[in-house]
A and B are shown apart, each in its own frame.
Chain A
Amino acid sequence: MRRRGRRPVLYRSWVAVGAASVVLLAACGAGVGWTSGAGAASTTGVTKSSITIGATVPLTGPAAPGYSEIAPAMDAVFKWVNAHGGVYGRKIKYIYLNDKYDPSTTAKLTRKLVLTDHIFADVGSLGTPTDLAIQKYLHAEKVPHLFIESGCNCWSTSKYPEELGWQPPYTTDGKILGMYIKTHFPGKKIGELYQDTEFGKDFMKGIQMEVPASAIVSKQSYDVTTLAGAMTTQMAALQAAGAQVVAMATIPAATALAMLPAYAIGYTPQYVVDNVGADAPTVGPLLSSFTQLATKTSSKAAAAPGLLNGVITNIYMPAESTATNPWIKVEKAILEKYTTTTVWKKHGLDGNTEYGVALGYTFVQALQAAGKNLTRTSLMHALDTKAKSFHTPGLVPLRYSTKVHYGYMGSEVVQETTAAGTFKTPAGTWPSTKVLSPVYTTTTGRGPVKKYTGKVPSVPKALAKLAG
Chain B
Amino acid sequence: MRLFVNVLLSGVAQGMVFAAIALGLVLISRATGVINFAQGAMAMFTTFLAYTLLEHGIGYWPAFVATLAIGFVFGGLVERTLMRPLQGKSPLNAVIVTIGLLVVLEGLAGSIWGNTSRGFPAAFSQQGLAIGTTRVAFSTFDVFTVGAVVVLVAAIVALFRWTNLGLRMRAGAFAPEVARLLGVRVGRLFTLGWALACAAGSLAGLLVAPVSSFSPYYMDLYLIYGFVAAVLGGLVSPVGALVGGLVTGLATAFVGGYLGSNLEPMAALVLLLIVLMARPQGLFGTAIARRV
Give A contacts to B, CB under 8 Å.
59-62, 64-66, 68, 196, 220-223, 226-234, 236-237, 239-240, 252-253, 256-257, 260-261, 263-266, 285-290, 292-295, 297-301, 304, 346
Contacts and interface: CB of A to CB of B under 8 A. Distances in A.
Query: Closest 4 CB pairs between A and B?
Result: A294-B121, A266-B135, A288-B119, A289-B119
A288 B126 CA distance: 12
Interface in B127-159: 127-128, 130, 134-137, 139
Interface stretch (B23-31, B50-58, B167-175, B187-195): B50-58
A196 B261 CA distance: 10
Given A221-B262, A261-B10, A286-B213, A65 B115 contact: yes
A260 B210 CA distance: 10
B127 A263 contact: yes
B104 to A, nearest CB: 13
Given A66-B116, A253-B213, A286-B213, A298 B123 contact: no
Given A65-B115, A228-B221, A257-B213, A236 B137 contact: yes
B8 to A, nearest CB: 10
Given A253-B117, A265-B137, A62 B10 contact: no
A221 B7 contact: no
Contacts of B262: 196, 221-223
A231 B261 contact: yes
Nearest to A236: B6
A64 B56 CA distance: 26
B109 to A, nearest CB: 10
23 contacts: A60-B110, A60-B115, A65-B117, A223-B261, A223-B262, A228-B222, A229-B208, A232-B10, A232-B14, A233-B253, A240-B3, A252-B117, A256-B117, A265-B137, A266-B130, A285-B117, A288-B119, A289-B120, A289-B214, A293-B121, A294-B123, A298-B55, A301-B121
Given A228-B212, A264-B128, A286-B119, A346 B114 contact: yes
Contacts of A252: 117
B160 interface: no
Nearest to B116: A65
A295 B137 contact: no
A22 B198 CA distance: 66
A247 to B, nearest CB: 17
A300 B212 contact: no
Contacts of A304: 119
Contacts of A229: 14, 208, 211-212, 221-222
B264 interface: yes
Contacts of A263: 126-127
Nearest to A220: B261
B212 A230 contact: yes
B116 A299 contact: no
B215 to A, nearest CB: 6
Contacts of A294: 54, 60, 121-123
Given A62-B215, A65-B117, A233-B7, 12 more contacts: A227-B221, A236-B3, A236-B257, A256-B117, A285-B118, A286-B119, A289-B122, A289-B210, A294-B121, A299-B51, A299-B55, A346-B114
A289 B120 CA distance: 5
A285 B117 CA distance: 8
Contact of B119 (A62, A228, A264, A285): A285
Which of B55, B121, B139, B212 lies at the interface centre, i.e. has the most chain A CB atoms within 10 A of its CB? B121
Interface string B212-255: 11111110111000000000000000000000000000000100
A226 B59 contact: no
A6 B264 CA distance: 76
Interface in B1-35: 2-3, 6-7, 10, 14
Nearest to A238: B3
Contacts of A223: 261-262, 265
B91 interface: no
A304 B211 CA distance: 15
B128 A266 contact: yes
Interface string B248-276: 00000100110011101100000000000
B61 interface: yes
A64 B116 contact: yes
B135 A264 contact: yes
Contact of B220 (A228, A256, A257, A266): A228
A346 B61 CA distance: 28
B90 to A, nearest CB: 29
Q: Which of B137, B210, B262, B265 has the most CB atoms of chain A within a 10 A radius of its CB?
A: B137
A161 B4 CA distance: 52
B87 interface: no
Nearest to B225: A228
Nearest to B216: A60
Contact of B115 (A59, A239, A299): A59
A252 B117 CA distance: 10
B264 A260 contact: no
Contacts of A233: 6-7, 10, 253, 256-257, 261, 264
B257 A265 contact: no
A230 B127 CA distance: 13
B117 A299 contact: no
B125 interface: yes
B17 to A, nearest CB: 8
Contacts of A299: 51, 54-55, 119-121
B136 A290 contact: no
A257 B218 CA distance: 12
Contacts of B55: 298-300
Contacts of B208: 229
Given A233-B10, A289-B126, A64 B119 contact: no
Contacts of A226: 221, 264-265
